[in-house]
Structure 1
């Protein structure tokens, strides 16, 4: 490619302006300055196949020179852009750099520039490299369906793409926009996606039951109701437990649907109590113990049958004729509040967990460790060495870190790798119950990543010992 560069003087009217990534406009101040002092910095241009001078850098200066009626302007003539799509993609990338340096592009202009390059068939990886923006921003800009969001709210491109996901839910949009100003955007987005998944699962299940002619119970029955859950009933004549045929439940029976992310055995899909799990390297665990590596979280729709007329079905409560005293309304409200809190905290933890682990993957890719990392690494090695020897660490670390040969590894890289291993060891030691039982090791881990720029969600702050109300989760 010809890389020669010549300085010439030509009339600004002889210069050709091509489509710019923003609507180039010369401000009144710029025009006045050019009229008084002339053009102090040359315009950069190249000659096209017709030998016309095409502006590469300096669109606004060219327009100002024309408006100021200058006879001549200095022009540096350089080689034409690479011959891909008539040089348009190289030209757009060059204009991106010039505009970002001189007068920052708005986020909308940035998104539309990225989308324009994608329309030319440039791959996301190439766009990311040419414009020096991260891949997540490129992906968001190329999939965004409503760039007007960038005009309405003060958001990044990636945040605006998320907001457009929830355009049909004004309340969710309001929540996300508010969270963007508090550093909680990613956490709120994870929670909203989680809630949407749950709502969709319930809607699908409801449609299936109603298609069978089964009544779906709305809400919870009143506490003073004379009706009862079927799993508490027996047959009057035989005393046997009642078993409902889901294909033909019969009269006076409705189904209650609930959906939540539940800890299940990977091998069978059977729910297990997450608070009764053991670590894989716990040598004192019982023979039939379930370990954390044997389970995963899964969205489960649960059903519970309800009968609104026990006498008509010939059923009765299996409890003794003299059951314990009924709880007071205050007791009931406390139990309801505790249940709401557990459900909300569990959901919040699972949503935060994904955000935190995504952040950790990015952090572990750093080339050098933060200056304050030595103390954290030392504390982990001296007080919690078993975390680094856990069987799960060897399997999980590949999700966060690629460790090349340690032979000849530089000191900064070795230090960062040691820190990453300690962080991963702490991360896999967390679980859905971490918010309920305060573990000093988890507190140390969460506070450390908070110091590195990670925004703790409310449930993670509760795991650190802070008081967080249910409504804040």
Structure 2
């Protein structure tokens, strides 16, 4: 099939005959006289078929349409004659539609027969490539149309490199366009101008995965907080994957996995789930982990990933006291551990997993278990009655009922205490997750800032303030490493690489590098739990970024002391009052 994307010019003596074999048609020439006449067809006979351009309105391009209205279609329309006789427009969709709109009965054409030896997918890739290329040289395709065409080519088997080379576009841009093109939601958002291509690609990625919750969260997010919300979602999804990974051994053991923690309402007499701590066997013995492992099919488990790392046995996952490990064997693996200690290769550090077990109430009988408070007589001791007759007390004064009620109240209080502790742990975990998302977003902003050739105007005052107020800043542990990462440098030779850059860089770029060293040091201080404290250096750092246009989020505002961390909505942190999150405009 032809790859020619230039406007063809035909021999004026050629007689238009759509039924004639295309091989008898002359090749295009550069003769000026040939533009006077050429083969023509009624545009109504042409089939537009698939085209990368989906959106075209005549009124949006008056220079093109008015020319066709006045002079007709001048440039031949490239047509492929299919084996079934259809005349399919390969290049000239806009000209064909415009001619039809103005009721023109003739348009110049250049007809080529379809090559049946070409694979169908390759033929489609060739069509899309040609249509994108030639349209880029005329009325530009919309971003949405272009993205859809690229997605189609990738779906047909073209590689990213192949498409990038054909369209003379960067591979990263092809990847991004491929994501957008595969998502109707993202393409519509691009057409409406609500999101830039980078944001639309993020939405498309989740939309293509069927993650409607992520799409809805991103579309609800304030535009200035879009990157932060996207990073929060990424951290949430990573946590979900970690949860499922941690849950896998429990599921393999036969336990059911809870994906939501039972709320306080479950600790009632009618609750469908009962926590293991409230159950006993027929002998009154409390249920322990060995009982659960022996009968896993009855139980459901809720897992909580702790904030701390713990040492566990590699083979069993059982917790290990680090004092029982001979750590010298880590550097000398061939040596035997000291007496009474274990080898370092037998243990590894993992995230702490806290497990809480629940039994469905309707499984009590089948499991042979009972709730702790079973009968009044079980709750009464000899000290509760003069006669020691527990039945008598229950019959005469109802003391057994009162004691049972007291036991239930105590159990409820204990359940509420556990719930409060769990909620407190969850709050810390969620705020730390927000801190991680804020850090990721902040690093993205600073990395883009440090790619500049010149520093921002506000940098001089900031640098002077920082180096005077915190004279040891650049010597802090990992401060330099943090700066190198912000500059996109890593590895053992990064310091030498930076020195080489300085030796050839212009003064303004050297000032940017100095700024990177200071920002890297401060970023090293601003960890995920920055909301807990108000470090003076971190405050200076955050305030500087805000003057440059970085949108501070609630955990960062808490670090500044502008809001109380207790007031942050851990489920919807960006739903903070406008007055507390109002940001000054970038200078």
Deviations 1:114-139 (A, max 9, x none): 3366555451894699347x82x432
In structure 2, the residue matched to 1:437 is: 533
> Who is 2:225 aligned against?
184
State the 1:410 CA deviation.
0.4
How much has 1:366 moved relative to structure 2? 2.4
Q: What SS does the aligned partner of 1:385 have?
A: coil
How many angstroms does 1:392 deviate by? 0.8
User: Who is 2:168 aligned against?
Assistant: 130
**For residues 56 and 254 of structure 2, what CA distance do their matches in structure 1 show?**
66
Q: How many residues align?
A: 402
Q: Which residue of structure 2 aligns with residue 264 of structure 1?
A: 309
Q: 1:114 to 1:88 in 2, by over 3 A?
A: closer
- Tell me whether 1:27 sits opposite 2:123 in the alignment: no
Q: Does structure 1 residue 198 correspond to structure 2 residue 284?
A: no
Structure number having the greater helix percentage: 2
Report the TM-score when normalising by structure 1: 0.63
| Max Rg structure | 2
Unaligned runs of 5+ in 1: 47-54, 74-84, 272-296, 313-324
| 1:139 equivalent in structure 2 | 175
Cα pair distance change 1:98/1:438, threshold 3 Å:
farther
Q: Report if the CA contact (8 A) 1:423-1:445 is conserved.
A: yes
1:376-415 correspondence to structure 2 within 5 Å: 376-401=462-487, 402=489, 403=498, 404-415=500-511
Tell me what 1:111 maps to.
147
Identify unmatched segments of 5+ residues in structure 2: 1-28, 79-88, 109-124, 321-348, 360-369, 375-409, 490-497, 574-587
Tell me the alpha carbon deviations over residues 71-104 of structure 1, each in whole angstroms, 9 at most, x when there is no partner: 999xxxxxxxxxxx9898587346336444xxxx
Conserved? CA contact 1:124–1:139, under 8 Å: no
Residue 465 of structure 2 aligns to a residue whose secondary structure is helix
Residue 291 of structure 1 is matched in structure 2 by none
Is the alpha carbon distance of 1:453 and 1:243 closer, same or farther for their aligned partners in structure 2, counting shifts above 3 Å?
same
1:92 maps to 2:132:
yes
Q: Which residue of 2 aligns with 1:82?
A: none
Equivalent residue in structure 2 for 1:464, among 560, 571, 578? 560
Check 1:299–1:113 CA distance in 2 against 1; reply closer, same or farther (3 A cut). farther
* Residue from 454, 458, 462 that aligns with 1:368: 454
Secondary structure (helix, strand or coil) at the match of 1:352 reads: helix
User: How far off is 1:251 after superposition?
Assistant: 9.4
What's the C-alpha RMSD, in Å, of the aligned pairs? 5.5
Return the alpha-carbon distance in structure 1 between the equivalents of residues 51 and 356 of structure 2. 62
Residues 298 and 158 (structure 1), Cα distance of their counterparts in 2 relative to 1, 3 Å cut: farther
Asked if the contact 1:96/1:131 (under 8 Å) is kept, the reply is no
The answer to which of 457-466 and 205-214 deviates more is: 205-214
Aligned to 1:346: 432
* 1:333-358 Cα shifts (integer Å, max 9, x gaps): 97676555323212211233233323
**CA 252–64 in structure 1, closer or farther in 2 if over 3 Å, else same:** closer
Cα distance in structure 1, aligned partners of 2:447 and 2:166: 19
| Cα contact 2:90–2:131 (8 A) shared by 1 | yes
Q: 2:250 aligns with which of 202, 209, 217?
A: 209
1:36-115 alignment runs, 5 A limit: 60=94, 92-93=132-133, 95-96=135-136, 98-100=138-140, 105-115=141-151
Aligned in 2, Cα 1:423/1:159: closer, same or farther, shift over 3 Å? same
Partner secondary structure for residue 309 of structure 2: strand
Q: State the Cα deviation string for residues 18-66 of structure 1 (Å, max 9, x = none).
A: 9974258572645663267659xx97999xxxxxxxx999975797589
Whole-angstrom CA distance in 1 between matches of 2:208 and 2:106: 53
2:343 corresponds in structure 1 to none
Q: Secondary structure at the match of 1:110?
A: helix
Moved more, 375-384 or 302-311: 302-311
**Could you say what secondary structure the match of 2:530 adopts?**
coil
SS in 2 for 1:257: strand
1:51 match:
none
- Structure 2 CA distance for partners of 1:27 and 1:139, relative to 1, 3 Å: same
Cα 1:419–1:267 shift into 2, 3 Å: farther
CA drift at 1:408: 3.2
Residue equivalent to 2:17: none
Partner of 1:123, secondary structure, is helix
Q: Determine the C-alpha separation between the residues in 1 that align with 2:67 and 2:371.
A: 89
Using a 3 Å threshold, how does the CA distance of structure 1 residues 457 and 185 change in structure 2: closer, same or farther? same
Q: Check conservation: 2:453, 2:512, Cα contact below 8 A.
A: yes
Distance 1:253 1:328, change over 3 A: closer
Name the CA distance, whole Å, in 2 between partners of 1:23 and 1:222. Answer: 54
Tell me by how many angstroms 1:164 deviates.
1.2
Q: CA deviation at 1:257?
A: 2.6
Distance of aligned partners of 1:215 and 1:37 in 2 relative to their CA distance in 1, 3 Å threshold: closer
C-alpha contact 1:261 1:299 (8 A) present in aligned 2: yes
Larger mean Cα displacement after TM superposition, 379-388 or 118-127: 118-127
